[in-house]
Amino acid sequence: MILDPADDSSGHVFLGFTEDVTDEVVRDWMRRQDKAALLGSLNKVPARPGSTFFVPAGVPHAIGAGITMVEVQEPVDLSILLEWEGFDIDGPNEGHLGLGFDTALTGLTRTAWDSADVAAAMSGRSDDDSPSGVRRLLPPRADEFFRAERVTVGGDVQAVDFEPAFAILVILDGQGELGFGDGHSMTVAAGCTLLVPHGAGQTRVTGQLTALRSQPPAVDEADPALTGPRRRVAAVCR
């Protein structure tokens, strides 16, 4: 989810090649660290505050300057780098995760993304049956990898309740309370990131705040193996 820029006209992300490209062309851009060619080959998409994008594995993408965002991804660190000049990283040795670029680049989607592909990456969902105050942010095809919701309380929605589930809660603005388990609660405010284990039981968000709630793929939440010994919420607040 894009948090900034505050000026709606200033931020962009880059998604997918605008035309099919060959392996040789990509390798040449990468070898010369031709940033202009790399970025110029991708779809340039305005990034408004609140926008979300689903980027499937293998699709080349970049984040434009001046953007602050919250990124949800699978619990792996498998980023292949095409561009690294100016960053504190040894791209030729570390940009391929030890696989070698011959292997790593086989995972790159070199076919073009058209306007329909870009629109699909930005689309919400028509099957959203979330409770009031909750809006699911990603298209259904993301569900097998991860899920994300925007939670808004205050005004007409005084509280949002969730059944027991593992989740990461990032407070984007405002402040309030997270209630969990058997009468426990904690104060939360913008900048807090909370890990909510399944064992914390039912949770309730109250106050005046907006949060991003992310989850892994859907599972059987009634599975006793998910309760585990850990029942408290872990939080980091800036």
Token couple for 129: 């049956």
Residue 57 and residue 148 in one domain? no
Residue 110 and residue 174 in one domain? no
Provide the phi-psi class of 34: left if phi over 0, else alpha when psi is between -120 and 50, else beta: beta
Inside any domain, residue 192: yes
Residues of the chain with pLDDT under 50: none
Residue 140 and residue 225 in one domain? yes
Out of 122, 151, 170, a domain closes at: 122
- 13, amino acid identity: V
Residue 112 and residue 215 in one domain? no
Residue 8 and residue 100 in one domain? yes
- The residue range of the domain holding 164 is 134-236
Query: How many independent structural domains does the chain possess?
Result: 2
The residues that bridge with 212 in the sheet, in sequence order, are: 150, 170
Judged by DSSP in three states, 25 sits in helix
Q: Name the residue among 61, 167, 35, 209 with its Cα closest to residue 122.
A: 61
CATH of the domain at 221: 2.60.120.10
pLDDT of residue 236: 75
Inside any domain, residue 129: no
Out of 78, 97, 122, a domain closes at: 122
Inside any domain, residue 157: yes
Inside any domain, residue 105: yes
Residue 115 and residue 147 in one domain? no
Q: Which residues contact 45 (CB under 8 A, 6 or more apart)?
A: 12, 13, 14, 15, 53, 118, 122
Residue 196 and residue 231 in one domain? yes
Q: Which residues contact 231 (CB under 8 A, 6 or more apart)?
A: 181, 197, 199, 200, 201
Out of 122, 157, 188, a domain closes at: 122
Torsion of CA 76, 81, 85, 86, to 10 degrees: -20
Provide the phi-psi class of 169: left if phi over 0, else alpha when psi is between -120 and 50, else beta: beta
- 149, amino acid identity: E
Token couple for 205: 């968000």
Residue 154 and residue 84 in one domain? no
Residue 155 and residue 89 in one domain? no
Residue 10 and residue 115 in one domain? yes
Q: Name the residue among 145, 155, 170 with its Cα closest to residue 208.
A: 155
Inside any domain, residue 27: yes
DSSP E strands in the chain: the ranges are 2-4, 12-17, 42-46, 61-63, 68-69, 134-136, 147-153, 159-162, 167-180, 184-189, 193-196, 203-215, 234-236
